[in-house]
Structure 1
Amino acid sequence: MTTLHITVGNHEQLRQDALQFVRDVDADDLDSQDGTATLQFGTYDDFVDSLTPLRLELIRAIAAETPESMREAARLVDRDVSDVHSDLKQLDVLGILTLEEGGPSGAIQPIVPFDRIEVHIDYPLLDRGDADTAASA
Structure 2
Amino acid sequence: MLRVVQAGDFSKHNSNTISYKSHLLDPFAQQCRTRWVFTREALLPKRRILELYANVIEMGRGIYGVEAALQHYFGVSARGLTREQSAMLAAVLPNPKGWDPTKPGRTLRWRQCRILQREWNAKFPEQLLR
| Greater share of strand | 1
| Greater share of helix | 2
TM > 0.5 between the two? no
Q: TM-score range by the shorter chain?
A: under 0.3
TM-score for both structures, normalised by structure 2: 0.25
TM-score for both structures, normalised by structure 1: 0.24
